[in-house]
Amino acid sequence: MLISHISDIHLGYSQFNLLERENDIYDAFAEAVDRSISEHADLVILAGDIFHNPRPSGSSIVKLADELKKFREASIPVYFILGEHDMSRIKDTPVPYLFHNMKLARLLEDNQPIRAGALAIFGFNKERRSSIETLLQKLQVAEKLAKQQKENYDSRNILVLHQGLVEFNKFAGELSRNNLPKGFDYYAMGHYHDHIEETFSYFDGVEQTGLIAYPGSIDLSPSDGLRDIEKGFFLTDMSAHEPSANWIKLENRRPVLAFDLTYRTLHEEISAIIRKTHSCKKKPIVALTILGEKIDSKIVTMNLSALNEYCLHYVWRTAEKHNAHPDISSGKPIDINREIYNLARESLNSDELAAFAINEILPAASAGDFRTVLDIAWKVHDNKMKTRN
């Protein structure tokens, strides 16, 4: 069977608060869906963070519905789990449940494996660090159930998780490889935004292996910053003795171009950048580092204005020769969303509180919807009081 494994879609995210960047994510998702259908995938796994915000916009909800309808029309079943961006910290029904109830996709529930042909698919929603012990207990049960599936049905077992492994990122990981349950052939992971593949070996009477696979996000997100990096998803063949993951690069994304420019020849080098933009299918995003001494920001701004017609957006920073820390920006921040998140995390001393403030409080407050802000605050307060009691 051929599986389309897509993760970290983040529908609704608009880098630099630009509508074009929000639409870029919709386009990338549509490309992944269309490619999955054209390659005759037998089923689809969405491994969490379907939306960027637990209170997604109407346009992102409609976009997800449109793409899921394509799969239904092609008779391709879709299974999903929730990431932290899909779930509110207050007790509320996550929006993706809507698509489960409409039978456009099916939510994978704890230790209730779904059989699809020769496959048994297990899935667990995201667990934050504070409740990771609960997840570990569930995974112990999953290991026993996976063994039963192999013994009774000779099944190929798939585990879908939206968790980070410390071996790949010690700061963002909640689990270790050793915490993963045995008996699974394919670990369909989400959470990390970079493409990662690694064979997981374990001993269970005999030496066995499974494939750990993170497809990465389908476009840049706040945690990515601004960099020229390929994005894509997996088409994984489960028919052979060992799963074979083919990572599919998304071809129609908006390009990100990065350049180091010399201050004294700024005008000539900008002209060269403009010539390079002519070959881009979409107006690119451009990141510039200005190198030199005694850099006048007014002169830089005046010269860079020539890019306005040829780029969707550009950002720049200076790196003067006498500066021991060339990464210090004297221009626009590389990504304002990332800057806001970093400031919130520093002030609150918590990744979870920073995500809560930015993903739930900030959107309602910026829209002037203070009734919703108060409602969220009261619900959080009530939940904490109930927990204490």
Q: Mean pLDDT for the chain? A: 88
Return all residues near 125 (Cβ < 8 A) that are at least 6 apart. 48, 81, 82, 83, 87, 110, 162
3-state DSSP call for residue 221? Answer: coil
Asked if residues 262 and 300 have their Cβ atoms less than 8 Å apart, the reply is no
281-290, 323-332, 338-347: range with lowest mean pLDDT: 323-332
Structure tokens given for 114: 């779904």
Find out whether 142 and 181 touch, Cβ atoms under 8 Å.
yes
Predicted confidence band of residue 331 (pLDDT cuts 50, 70, 90): very low
pLDDT tier at 332, thresholds 50, 70, 90: very low
Domain ranges of the chain: 2-249, 256-320, 339-388
pLDDT tens-digit series, residues 202-259 = 877 777 899 999 999 999 988 787 888 999 999 999 998 899 999 999 999 999 999 9
Contact 217, 8 (CB under 8 A): yes
Q: How far apart are CA 187 and CA 41, in angstroms?
A: 18
The per-residue pLDDT for range 143-177, each reduced to its tens digit, is 999 999 999 999 999 999 999 999 998 888 999 99
- Residue 85, SS3? helix
d(CA 362, CA 358): 5
Query: Would you state the pLDDT for residue 221?
Result: 86
The size of the chain, in residues, is 389
| Mean pLDDT for the stretch of residues 180-190 | 96
C-alpha 317/C-alpha 323 separation (Å) is 13
Return the CATH fold of 2-249. Answer: Purple Acid Phosphatase; chain A, domain 2 (3.60.21)
Query: Burial letters for 355-370: b for 16+ Cβ neighbours within 10 Å, e otherwise?
Result: bbbbbbbebbeeeeee
Mean pLDDT of 24-53: 98
Which pLDDT tens digit goes with each residue over 64-116? 999 999 999 999 999 999 999 999 877 789 999 999 999 999 999 999 999 99
CA angle 178, 180, 183 (to 5 degrees): 115
| 160: its two tokens | 């879908």
